Amino acid sequence: MSVKVLTIKEDLLGANQEKADKNHKLLDKHHNFMINIMSSPGAGKTSLIMQTIKRLKDKIRIAVIEGDIASTIDADKISKQDIPVIQINTAGACHLDANMIENAIDKLSLEQTDLVVIENVGNLVCPAEFAVGAHKNIMLLSVPEGDDKPHKYPLMFTEADVVLVNKIDVLPYFDFDVNAFSDAVSGLNPSARIFPVSAKTGEGLEVWFSWLEDALK
């Protein structure tokens, strides 16, 4: 039997991208806006989401999709706010993909939702590779992680529309240079908006809330 060479040139993430586009269209059809929040574990994604819910739930109908490798700890916290929460346990996978989000969106009543918030799995590498169909990618980087992260994880910073520098309340205790960090992010991604915040004390969050409200208009 003779050996044949088949030229393929097909992207491995192509199928994921197609599904992400489908999710995006479905949300548009129902006038829903979806944000994909990504960061390392412990950077403050859940705290940011809780603050955002508290501040905006009277104006905007919010639903949350929680991605975790295991457990429902985050989902339990959020459902106490009387917000619809869909928990995705990825069973080991380090990121959410478009297929998981499609299944989660399916369980939401989109007619009763304005904003879908995805809390991605805590990880600075993989979530940036997998489009899910979000309208905006939000990235959180917390002060204790260090200001050199854009150089180490360039892809994540290239994909972000908004970069929140979280935990600025502990800036005095760390050698984190906010200007150096902002320059590094703008270097890779000049259109990214950078907001220094503290999800704990609430400092700086008003800028984030108004950005989000404007984005929804």
Partner 1 sequence: MHEQSIVESLLALALENAERANAIRILKINLVVGEYSGVVEEAVDFYFSFLSRNTIAAEASIAYRHVPAQLRCRRCETIFTPEKNNLHCPECNEQQVDIIAGRELYIDSLEVE
Binding interface with partner 1 (CB under 8 A) = 1-16, 92-95, 97, 123, 125-126, 129-130, 148, 150-152, 154-155, 158, 183-184, 186-188, 190
Beta carbon of residue 123, minimum distance to partner 1 (angstroms, whole number): 7
Give 33 or 130: the residue with its C-beta nearer to partner 1: 130
Give 172 or 190: the residue with its C-beta nearer to partner 1: 190
Beta carbon of residue 109, minimum distance to partner 1 (angstroms, whole number): 28
CA dist 214 → 5, 204, 208, 210 (Å): 52, 16, 10, 6
Beta carbon of residue 190, minimum distance to partner 1 (angstroms, whole number): 7
* Cβ contact 32:110 at 8 Å: yes
C-alpha to C-alpha distance for 116 and 134, rounded to whole angstroms: 9
Give 8 or 173: the residue with its C-beta nearer to partner 1: 8
Beta carbon of residue 94, minimum distance to partner 1 (angstroms, whole number): 5
Kindly report the three-state secondary structure assignment for every residue of 32-56: CEEEEEECCCCCCHHHHHHHHHHHH
Give 12 or 29: the residue with its C-beta nearer to partner 1: 12
For tokens 């457990």, the residue is 71
For tokens 């004390």, the residue is 201
